[in-house]
Chains A and B, each alone.
Chain A
Amino acid sequence: MPVWVLSAVGLAAAWFPAFVRVAPNRLLTGEALSPHAWLLTGGWLLIVACSFVTAPAGRWVLALLAWTGVAGFPLLAGADARDVLAHATPFTRVQPGAGFWLGWLAAALLLLDRLRGMRKPWQAGAWIAALAAIVAASALGAFDGLSLVREWQAQRAPFSAALGEHLRLAAVTLVLALAFGAPLGWWVWRTGRANGALVGTLAFLQTVPSLALFALLIAPFAWLAHAWPALGALGFGGTGGAPAVFALLLYALLPVVRYTVAGLDAVPADAREAARGLGMSRAQLLWSVQLPLGWPVLLAGLRIVAVQTIGLAAVAALIGAGGLGRFVFLGIGQGAMDMVLLGTLAIIALALVVDLLFQGLLALTERRA
Chain B
Amino acid sequence: MIEFDHVHKHFGRQVVIDDLSLRIESGEFFVLVGPSGSGKSTLLRTVNRLVPVDAGQVRIDGEDVVTRDAETLRRGIGYAIQSVGLFPHRTVAENIATVPRLLHWPPHEIRARTAELLALLHLDEPGMGSRYPHTLSGGQQQRVGVARALAARPRIVLMDEPFGALDPLTRESLQASLKAIQRDTGTTILFVTHDMDEAFGLGDRVGLMLDGGLVQVGSPLDLLHAPADDRVRDFVGGTRARLRELAVRTVGDNMRRGEQADGDPVDAEASLQDAFGAMLTQGRDRLPVHVRGERVGAIVLADLVSRRA
Residues of chain A within 8 A (CB-CB) of B180 are: none
CB-contact partner of A277 in B72, B81, B87, under 8 A: B81
Given the known inter-chain contacts A270-B83, A274-B79, A274-B81, please indicate yes or no for A279 contacting B99, CB distance below 8 A: yes
Of the candidates B70, B75, B89, B158, the one having the most CB atoms from chain A within 10 angstroms of its own CB is: B89
Interface string of A108-141 (1 = CB under 8 A from B): 0000000000000000000000000000000000
A284: interface (CB < 8 Å): yes
Interface string of A209-232 (1 = CB under 8 A from B): 000000000000000000000000
CB-contact partner of B71 in A273, A280, A293, A369, under 8 A: A280
B84: interface (CB < 8 Å): yes
Minimal Cβ-Cβ distance residue in B for A280: B102
Residues of chain A within 8 A (CB-CB) of B71 are: 279-281
Given the known inter-chain contacts A278-B75, A279-B74, A369-B89, please indicate yes or no for A273 contacting B81, CB distance below 8 A: yes
Query: What's the minimum C-beta distance from B290 to chain A, rounded to whole angstroms?
Result: 43
Chain A's interface size range is: 10 to 19
CB-contact partner of B50 in A270, A277, A280, A289, under 8 A: A277
Query: What's the minimum C-beta distance from A275 to chain B, rounded to whole angstroms?
Result: 7
Are the C-beta atoms of A278 and B87 separated by less than 8 Å?
Answer: no
A158: interface (CB < 8 Å): no
A183: interface (CB < 8 Å): no
Interface string of B126-151 (1 = CB under 8 A from A): 00000000000000000001001100
Are the C-beta atoms of B99 and A268 separated by less than 8 Å?
Answer: no
How far apart are the CA atoms of A274 and B99 in the complex, in Å?
11
How far apart are the CA atoms of A268 and B90 in the complex, in Å?
13
Query: What's the minimum C-beta distance from A12 to chain B, rounded to whole angstroms?
Result: 52
Query: What's the minimum C-beta distance from A265 to chain B, rounded to whole angstroms?
Result: 15
Minimal Cβ-Cβ distance residue in B for A272: B85
B38: interface (CB < 8 Å): no
Residues of chain A within 8 A (CB-CB) of B86 are: 271, 274
Interface string of A67-96 (1 = CB under 8 A from B): 000000000000000000000000000000
For window 281-332 of chain A, which residues contact chain B by CB distance below 8 Å? 281, 284, 289, 292-293
A168: interface (CB < 8 Å): no
CB-contact partner of A273 in B72, B85, B102, B148, under 8 A: B85
B73: interface (CB < 8 Å): yes
A193: interface (CB < 8 Å): no
Are the C-beta atoms of A284 and B88 separated by less than 8 Å?
Answer: no
A276: interface (CB < 8 Å): yes
Query: Can you list 15 residue pairs at the A/B interface with Cβ under 8 Å?
Result: A268-B88, A270-B81, A270-B84, A272-B85, A274-B86, A275-B98, A278-B75, A278-B79, A278-B102, A278-B148, A278-B149, A279-B71, A279-B72, A279-B99, A292-B89
